[in-house]
Amino acid sequence: MFEHNDPNRIQLNSSGQLRHFLTTEGLSRELLTEILDTADSFVDMGAKQIKKMPLLRGRTVVNLFFEASTRTLSTFELAAKRLSADVLNLNISTSSTSKGETLKDTLMTLEAMHSDMFVVRHADSGAAHFIASQVTPHVAVINAGDGRHAHPTQAMLDMLTIRRHKGSFEPLTFAIVGDILHSRVARSQIHALRTLGAREIRVIAPKTLLPRHIEAMGVKVFTDMREGLKDVDVIMMLRLQKERMTSALLPSESEFYKLYGMTTEKLAYAHPEAVVMHPGPINRGVEIESAIADGPRSLILDQVTNGIAVRMAVMSMAMSGQVVEKQLQHPSAN
């Protein structure tokens, strides 16, 4: 595990603008709102005949994924291409790291190719922060998920989806349901929701899938799903991360579905206009019933669409923050 203390010392430039995007923790409400506003302006681009704009023209983006991913990798790639960047997807399974090359040597090699941005997914918490601390000053780093720590672009695409459907966060009660223990998504969602003014945040899970001292994050804890869902406005389901479970934390998937799976019967406890979200990939019949996943109250596909817009926003803002910082440090180069 890498150290990731005080991320804002590195992810903001001296003017308070984004130059890396490593976590939602500690970012101001104004900056989170700026990300949402910028992303909102990109949402309709996918419906246009020409799906490109030149904000990253001439820039090189490297998707550096040390963990398997389909949805996140493909949306980052599409986002970069819609901003007109050149994109390199590094296949870690066939890269030099599998031959013993250190992470730092890999980064130096990619920097020698004049890369401008690394999008990083890694199994170790703090890896994106470590990489941001090692790269040369002009290279932006975007965290695409690190261990159990953070998945900030997923959280922000969830925030954008909520804002587009509900308008504001202040009057709403949220429930985050499922594998809280292993979820970097849940942590980033909680930080973002608190900053954006959510009225109440609940987490619902069996005791074995709850982190110790989760209440310290400002959430209410429920182990009974029906009780926890009472009158909530937004339900955010999580994937069971079986690949991170090193011991038997659940009696069985069928038992988990019976107690914590989102079904039509359990949804009836929530507010009549409550919506259901899931970061994907979804496990039907384990975390969620198909009638809900495919039903009118599901926002799952909206989350995917909005993911491209949020990643375009974060990439363009971080690159802009890098340029401003370079101008501040080297004004004679303007």
Q: Distance between alpha carbon 252 and the CA centroid of its chain, in Å? A: 28
Distance CA(177)–CA(278), nearest Å, equals 10
Read out DSSP for 215-275? GGGS-EEES-HHHHHTT-SEEEE----GGG--S--SS-HHHHHHHHSB-HHHHTTS-TT-E
How is residue 234 written in tokens? 């937004």
Read out DSSP for 111-148? HHTT--EEEEEESSTTHHHHHHHHS-TT-EEEEEEETT
Please give the annotated binding residues for L-aspartate, written as ranges: 99, 184, 239
Residues in the chain: 334
CB contact at 8 A, 194 and 211 = no
Please give the annotated binding residues, written as ranges: 71-72, 99, 121, 151, 154, 184, 239, 280-281
Distance CA(179)–CA(188), nearest Å, equals 14
Please give the annotated binding residues for carbamoyl phosphate, written as ranges: 71-72, 121, 151, 154, 280-281
